[in-house]
């Protein structure tokens, strides 16, 4: 009605109209939503995917085969729920006494058919690597090349577990471990969530100097 001239446009309506024309998320929407640096088109698709995951979870009352971690308003709460489950399985352990570990599998995001058996942990995905790529053959971080495929920036499905729950760690060449920080957005800053130890065939300080990190956004 405002665009037709039959209603006075408020400042908020004017700003929203400008954002729709420039493919940016209106500030009034962003204030009520989750942290995101995506343009409006990508932000809306992301929103629909989040709703779809929650709706399917609600309808089936079962975890998806692999949980899309970026789909949560607060991914830390899902990790806290994992710790609580591990504490219960540990027969009364306190949360502070439970260490959650992460193991990178060789599974693609859309290749998982079901969650691992009870007690083995939970599959999660949605991590993008910044300033490095993942080498599936070496199962380790690698330098990003000009011809690196786009999927190389996607970290494969990750198994969340406790050290006592699984012996999923791979044997083979001795590798260095890089405690890779995980952030919600590329802005990093206060969007830090936790760290995941990623295997590396070279000195892990290389990735520290490069600022290599995982983000929950493409």
Angle at CA 50, nearest 5°, toward 211 and 28?
85
Residues 86-124: tens digit of each pLDDT? 888 765 566 667 778 899 999 999 999 898 877 689 999
Please state, in angstroms and as integers, the Cα–Cα distance from residue 129 to each residue in 43, 63, 104, 213, following that order.
20, 25, 13, 6
For 35-64, how does the pLDDT look when each residue is reduced to its tens digit (9 = 90+)?
A: 999 999 999 999 999 999 999 999 999 889
Is 57 in contact with 66 (CB distance < 8 Å)?
no
180-208 pLDDT per residue, tens:
999 999 999 899 999 999 999 899 999 99
> DSSP for 16-72?
HHHHHHHT---HHHHTTS------HHHHHHHHHHHHHHHHHHHHH-S--SSEEGGGS
At 13, is the pLDDT very low, low, confident or very high (cuts 50, 70, 90)?
confident
Please report the pLDDT score of residue 99 as a whole number.
Answer: 79
Residue 49 CA to residue 52 CA, distance in Å, equals 5
């Amino acid at each position: 009605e405002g665009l037709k001239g039959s209603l006075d446009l408020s400042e908020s309506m004017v700003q929203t109209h400008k954002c729709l024309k420039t493919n940016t998320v209106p500030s009034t929407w962003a204030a009520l939503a989750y942290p995101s640096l995506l343009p409006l088109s990508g932000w809306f698709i992301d929103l629909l995917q989040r709703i779809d995951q929650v709706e399917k979870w609600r309808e089936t009352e079962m975890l998806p085969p692999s949980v899309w971690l970026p789909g949560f308003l607060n991914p830390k709460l899902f990790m806290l729920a994992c710790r609580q489950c591990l504490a219960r399985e540990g027969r009364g352990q306190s949360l502070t006494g439970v260490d959650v570990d992460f193991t990178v599998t060789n599974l693609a995001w859309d290749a998982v058919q079901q969650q691992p058996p009870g007690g083995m942990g939970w599959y999660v995905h949605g991590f993008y690597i910044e300033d490095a790529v993942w080498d599936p053959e070496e199962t380790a971080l690698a330098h990003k090349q000009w011809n690196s495929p786009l999927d190389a920036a996607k970290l494969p499905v990750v198994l969340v577990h406790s050290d006592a729950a699984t012996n999923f760690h791979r044997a083979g060449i001795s590798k260095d471990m890089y405690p890779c920080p995980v952030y919600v957005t590329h802005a990093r800053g206060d969007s830090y969530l936790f760290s995941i130890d990623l295997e590396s065939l070279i000195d892990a300080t290389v990735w520290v100097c490069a600022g290599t990190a995982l983000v929950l956004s493409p």
